[in-house]
Amino acid sequence: MKFYRSMDGGHADQVGHVAATFDRLAPTGAVPVYHHMGVWQRGRRSIPFLVFDFVEGRPLVRT
């Protein structure tokens, strides 16, 4: 699995924008499809994230 996260707690809109971009690009085969979007609770901080399939040695975005 590969994670994308926003360490600026509370910026779920940023992760949502990334998710929408990946949804839009998925049919091109240039990006992997993400499994789910969630929020990691760390103390009082909420850190939004996306979970992708992880393929060793391959980047998230292929050119």
pTM comes to 0.56
Cross-strand bridge partners of residue 31: none
Query: Which residue has tokens 């600026």?
Result: 8
Q: Whole-angstrom Cα distance, residue 30 to residue 27?
A: 8
Query: Which residue has tokens 């292929």?
Result: 62
Report pLDDT for 38. Answer: 77
Spell out the per-residue pLDDT of the chain, length 63, in tens: 455 665 555 566 777 777 888 888 888 877 777 777 777 787 887 777 777 766 566 655 655
Report pLDDT for 28. Answer: 86
One-letter amino acid of 22: F
**Other CB atoms within 10 Å distance of the CB of residue 48:** 23
Q: Label residue 10 left, alpha or beta by phi (over 0 means left) and psi (-120 to 50 means alpha).
A: left
Report pLDDT for 41. Answer: 82
